[in-house]
Amino acid sequence: MAKRARAVRWGVPVAAVAVVAAAVGTGPVIAAVRSDPSLPDRTAEQLLADVARTWQSGRMPQMSGTIVETASLGLPALPGLSGAPGPSGASAASLLSGSHQLKIWYAGEDRFRLMLPGEMSETDVVADGGTVWLWDSAANTATRLTAPAASAGRPDHAFPLPSGSASPFATPEQAARQALQAAGTDTAISVGDVVTVAGRAAYQIVLTPKSPDSLIKDVRVALDGEKLMPLRVQVYAKGAAEPAFEVGFESLSFTAPAPENFSFTPPPGAKVEQATATPPIGHRPEEAAEAHDRGHVVGSGWDSVLVTSLPAVPAQKQEGKGRDGVDLAALLDGVKSAATPVSGEWGSGRLLRTKVVSILITDDGRLLAGAVTPEALYRAAGVKE
């Protein structure tokens, strides 16, 4: 099917949630089978309005499938990122390398199963009515979770992916929400070629940053032609032929999963615990305070630059590894060793640039990062607070 190049500006209000982004791997593993599936022609405005209505309804179709997440950002090998798995069996640190799978079975908001397979273990989140279990086979621990009352019935959390230590994995829906949230007046939005993802014909919404400072060439969101739910999100860096980041369904079936998928009983000898499920990221008041303490953002949209103070490494060393098992002291030392000395009117420091991320560590103790050119980081470094 010929590519339809009609570009529009983003103008559809879509509720968005924060996405837990994973990072570095050895290349994409989800192959898009290029074909000419038959789908009715639709404009970008129509597709955006349709997906907005789908999300606002809070309803997800019954399904089962496998999601694969992988990336190739071009980061050098850095010490400190080989953190031990957390309660999920796949910490955010572990997602900074390789490709990872998430298996899902979904029959409703209170009946679903998510499985993160490991090398010699697996982690499951199983919900069957009012009972939710987190099973960590490596630790031989089954945790019965109580959902916070405030989280019930919220349409922006229709897809039941736990956050925090329960799962650092990003789904296509979460990645699509964040990408569409970032698309503003500095974005050209068009409809690309129809593709096939997990055997399903899908439309492609192509988000192209207009800013010359952005390192991102475009973000491609594949929407199921029938269900209009995100099947895959790909992020392409400028000058690259393959996606730098990709998360999408490898297999997918829109049929009701068998009831036994939602049945879980702790095996004999397992340690059984009780806990409260973590609310989705961005909905915890203490996180807002923590985010304020961690830094601020300079710029907007695709040109956003995070400016924050470097962590207190001596305190970090005393406490051991940080969240997700990351050794911050070793990581910062590795970044500084791999980075290039730079200086300007803003001051001096060290710069690390990858395909889609630039990182600046200043000699006065700041860290700046964004999917932007080094020049954009230097301008942000010169902004007085």
The DSSP line for 119-155 is SS-EEEEEEETTEEEEEETTTTEEEEEE--GGGTT-G
Reported pTM: 0.76
Predicted local distance difference test score (pLDDT) of residue 171: 85
Q: What is the pLDDT of residues 152-164, one digit of tens each?
A: 444 444 444 443 3
Q: What is the pLDDT of residues 198-252, one digit of tens each?
A: 999 999 999 999 999 999 999 999 999 999 999 999 999 999 899 988 999 999 9
User: Phi, psi (5° rounding) for residue 91?
Assistant: -75, 170
Asked if 311 and 323 count as a contact pair (C-beta separation under 8 A), the reply is no
- Name the pLDDT band for 29 (thresholds 50, 70, 90): very low
Q: Does 64 have pLDDT greater than 70? A: yes
Average pLDDT, the chain: 75
Q: Residue 17: what residue type?
A: V
Asked if 268 and 260 count as a contact pair (C-beta separation under 8 A), the reply is no
Predicted local distance difference test score (pLDDT) of residue 161: 45
The residue whose two tokens read 């305070």 is 289
- Name the pLDDT band for 277 (thresholds 50, 70, 90): low
Asked if 181 and 17 count as a contact pair (C-beta separation under 8 A), the reply is no
- Name the pLDDT band for 326 (thresholds 50, 70, 90): low
